[in-house]
């Protein structure tokens, strides 16, 4: 498994109970370049387009993998377009933040372990099996269909290096 790097990309929600992939972790594959691919092939042209069964396609994503990017996170921002992936991470806080956020804890296979909404000034409990944390504005994860057991697919932007393959 390779290392994640700071950059951008797009996020899609697949799999999960009753979802497009047919079961937890189903529906996602790793391409030849190490990037995750969705066999359904539905690419969202617009930002955060919601497809069938409440699944979002083509959500803009910022990846924070370095210590400096993770420490900065969403501090000093008034809002967020898309989502922010903190990796590696198992917990977050919202001290000195200006808005409430949704937090999804992901395991090493990018399967959602838990989802919570945190108001400013709160400390989220760390999750033991969590390797990554996905943050978005409050209410966004529910609109996109992100819930426990759903799998996240990350496609890097052309200028960004591909994410590591997930086994």
pLDDT tens figures, 100-156: 999 999 999 999 999 999 998 898 888 889 999 999 999 999 999 999 999 999 887
**147 contacts 113 by C-beta, under 8 angstroms:** no
The yes-or-no verdict on residue 71 having pLDDT over 70 is: yes
Question: Average per-residue pLDDT in the chain?
Answer: 74
The yes-or-no verdict on residue 3 having pLDDT over 90 is: no
**135 contacts 84 by C-beta, under 8 angstroms:** yes
**113 contacts 127 by C-beta, under 8 angstroms:** yes
> Which pLDDT does position 41 carry in this prediction?
36
Average pLDDT score over residue span 42-63: 57
Q: What is the pTM of this model?
A: 0.70
> Which pLDDT does position 156 carry in this prediction?
73
């Amino acid at each position: 498994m390779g290392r994640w790097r700071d950059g951008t990309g797009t996020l899609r929600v697949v799999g999960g109970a009753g979802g497009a992939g047919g079961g937890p972790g189903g529906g996602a594959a790793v391409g030849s370049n190490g990037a995750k691919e969705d066999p359904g092939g539905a690419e969202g042209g617009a930002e955060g387009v919601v497809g069938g069964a409440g699944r979002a396609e083509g959500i803009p994503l910022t990846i924070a993998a370095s210590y400096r990017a993770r420490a900065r996170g969403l501090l000093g921002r008034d809002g967020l377009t898309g989502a922010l992936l903190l990796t590696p991470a198992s917990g977050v806080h919202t001290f000195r933040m200006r808005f409430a956020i949704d937090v999804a804890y992901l395991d090493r296979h990018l399967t959602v372990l838990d989802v919570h909404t945190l108001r400013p000034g709160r400390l989220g409990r760390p999750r033991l099996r969590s390797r990554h944390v996905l943050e978005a504005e409050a209410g966004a994860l529910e609109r996109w269909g992100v819930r426990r057991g759903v799998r996240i697919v990350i496609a890097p932007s052309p200028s960004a290096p591909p994410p590591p393959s997930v086994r």
